[in-house]
């Protein structure tokens, strides 16, 4: 995974030193999310169906691997699997990732002080392939963009455990591929 320094004044990118963070060959890093504290970062690996946790040195731009975990339940053995999206909860207590094939959102707790992940659960996206999802800025809701069934599905987030519960709210939306929240101006 490549790491660059961004010069905002010039609008330019230069390779960091070191210029990359190593991942296991064949992982296929897809998306990346910072912890709200910016002390940790997480990458979801599309080809390996894993998530890798990193410590992050803000002054040097260096990522140091902490751990890599599967995004799938231990009993899931289908070759039809890949991942898509990843987001840290605004509280910094939880991490969420989407599984295609298994059609679920994986939930982890994030250990304070270490950034290490502990598996909590996989929650079905209610039949669709979760191409993307978003967490609302309050951290109370997760909306899954289920591309193949043309729906947006709303889940409530338990603020103590991070667990997801479907609200029963589904909205028709042709091939949703991205969920973003905006604040009123």
pLDDT 10s digits, 50-77: 999 999 999 999 999 999 999 999 889 8
Residue 32 near residue 86, CB atoms below 8 Å: yes
pLDDT of residue 41: 98
> Would the pLDDT of 183 be above 80?
no
88: confidence class by pLDDT, cuts 50, 70, 90:
very high
Tell me if 178 is assigned to some domain.
no
140: confidence class by pLDDT, cuts 50, 70, 90:
very high
Tell me if 185 is assigned to some domain.
no
pLDDT of residue 74: 86
Tell me if 95 is assigned to some domain.
yes
Compute the average pLDDT of residues 16-36. Answer: 96
pLDDT of residue 85: 97
Tell me if 42 is assigned to some domain.
yes
Q: Give the integer Cα–Cα distance in Å for 45 and 61.
A: 20
Tell me if 91 is assigned to some domain.
yes
Count up the domains in the chain and report the number.
1
Tell me if 184 is assigned to some domain.
no
Q: Where residue 147 sits, what CATH number does that domain have?
A: 2.130.10.10
Q: What is the DSSP string of 5-56?
A: EEETTTTEEEEEEEEE----TT--EEEEEE-TTSSEEEEEETTTTEEEEEEE
Tell me if 177 is assigned to some domain.
no
Q: Give the integer Cα–Cα distance in Å for 7 and 5.
A: 7
Tell me if 98 is assigned to some domain.
yes
Q: Which domain holds residue 14?
A: 2-172
Compute the average pLDDT of residues 99-105. Answer: 95
Q: Which two tokens mark 119?
A: 């598996």
Compute the average pLDDT of residues 79-97. Answer: 96
pLDDT of residue 128: 86
């Amino acid at each position: 995974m490549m790491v660059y320094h961004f010069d905002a004044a010039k609008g330019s990118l230069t390779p960091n030193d070191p210029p990359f963070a190593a991942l296991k060959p064949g992982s296929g890093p897809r998306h990346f999310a910072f912890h709200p504290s910016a002390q940790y970062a997480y990458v979801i690996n599309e080809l390996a169906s894993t998530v890798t946790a990193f410590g992050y040195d803000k002054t040097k731009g260096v990522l140091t691997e902490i751990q890599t975990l599967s995004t799938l339940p231990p009993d899931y053995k289908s070759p039809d699997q890949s991942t898509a999206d990843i987001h840290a909860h605004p509280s910094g207590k939880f991490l969420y990732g989407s599984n295609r094939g298994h059609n679920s959102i994986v939930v982890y707790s994030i250990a304070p002080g270490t950034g290490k992940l502990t598996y909590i659960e996989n929650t079905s996206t209610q039949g669709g392939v979760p191409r993307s999802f978003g967490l609302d800025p309050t951290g109370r809701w997760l909306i899954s963009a289920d591309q193949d069934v043309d729906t947006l599905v709303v889940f409530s987030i338990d603020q103590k455990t991070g667990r997801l519960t479907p609200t029963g709210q589904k909205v028709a939306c042709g091939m949703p591929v991205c969920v973003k929240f905006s604040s009123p101006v």
